[in-house]
């Protein structure tokens, strides 16, 4: 059989891998934002013990290779806690926890880049600190953070292939399975690569569109007064 026919035959199988990969990335990104943003706020506005706890978290998750983290959680931490989780869940959670560590620092930098006067003015009008953070600081900080944060999507997308190691049936895992069944190597991995590139392109351009949509004249990284 020629490689093209093999590719066409196996393509539906590969295609379901796309959903797994996109699922991994989506869950990981959501976990990353949901944990990363409060962590950034905690580091900027929290009391010292909280700041220290977050620093330790960031240090831990940024200090270990993602494969080591995956093995630690898949074979050690989750089973140790009596949790028998599917590989997909472990993969998404680990990518998410690690992403949160990175994203917290993107958000922290963005929050700290907002001039002190914005908080001062908000407080002078009678806003509480929480109101000021929510209505004044965060809407600005998120706009500043977005270009840096947009790295997270291709980063996590490419990283997700490492979930192969714990047997998540994502794109690379499925590609390898097809290769071992058909002994056709290059066309299959090439197809896998093309799909990754397309996914990366699609997501990145979506984020760029969002960036343009929420842009404000004279405001953005480098323009904050």
- DSSP string for residues in 26-65: HHHHHHHHHHHHHHHHHHHHS-HHHHHHHHHHHHHHHHS-
Shortest spacing between CB 176 and other proteins, in angstroms: 47
Q: Give the length of the chain.
A: 225
219 DSSP β-pair partners: 216
Q: How far apart are CA 11 and CA 138, in angstroms?
A: 44
Q: Taking the alpha carbons of 22, 23, 29, 33 in that order, is the dihedral positive or negative? A: positive
Q: By CB under 8 A, is residue 18 in contact with other proteins?
A: no
| Residue among 158, 180, 181, 223 that touches other proteins (CB under 8 A) | 223
Applying CB under 8 A, which part among 19-27, 93-101, 188-196, 212-220 lies near other proteins? 212-220
| Residue among 63, 76, 86, 139 that touches other proteins (CB under 8 A) | 139
Task: Report CA Rg, the chain.
Answer: 21
Shortest spacing between CB 63 and other proteins, in angstroms: 35
Applying CB under 8 A, which part among 28-36, 57-65, 123-131, 176-184 lies near other proteins? 123-131
Nearer residue to other proteins within complex by CB, 155 or 211? 211
Residues 137 and 114: beta-carbon distance below 8 Å: yes
| Residue among 5, 135, 158, 205 that touches other proteins (CB under 8 A) | 135
Task: Quote the longest CA-to-CA distance of the chain.
Answer: 75
Shortest spacing between CB 105 and other proteins, in angstroms: 22
Q: By CB under 8 A, is residue 221 in contact with other proteins?
A: no
Residues forming the site for other proteins (CB under 8 A)? 115, 117-118, 120-128, 131, 135-136, 139-140, 143, 216-219, 223-225
């Amino acid at each position: 059989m020629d490689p093209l026919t093999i590719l066409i035959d196996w393509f539906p199988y590969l295609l379901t891998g796309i959903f797994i990969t996109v699922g991994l990335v989506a869950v990981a990104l959501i976990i990353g934002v949901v944990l990363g943003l409060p962590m950034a706020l905690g580091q900027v506005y929290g009391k010292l013990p909280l700041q220290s706890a977050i620093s330790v978290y960031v240090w831990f998750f940024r200090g270990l290779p993602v494969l080591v983290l995956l093995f630690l959680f898949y074979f050690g931490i989750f089973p140790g806690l009596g949790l028998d989780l599917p590989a997909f869940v472990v993969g998404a959670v680990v990518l998410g926890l690690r992403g949160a560590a990175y994203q917290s620092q993107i958000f922290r930098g963005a929050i700290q880049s907002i001039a002190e006067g914005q908080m001062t003015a908000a407080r002078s009008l009678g806003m509480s600190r929480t109101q000021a953070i929510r209505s004044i600081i965060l809407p600005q900080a998120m706009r500043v953070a977005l270009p840096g944060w947009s790295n997270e999507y291709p980063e996590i997308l490419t990283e997700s292939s490492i979930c192969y190691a714990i047997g998540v049936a994502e794109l690379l895992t499925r590609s390898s399975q097809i290769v071992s069944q058909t002994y056709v190597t290059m066309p299959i991995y090439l197809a896998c690569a093309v799909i990754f590139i397309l996914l990366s392109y699609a997501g990145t351009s979506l984020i760029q569109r969002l960036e343009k949509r929420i842009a404000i004249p004279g405001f953005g990284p480098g323009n904050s007064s």
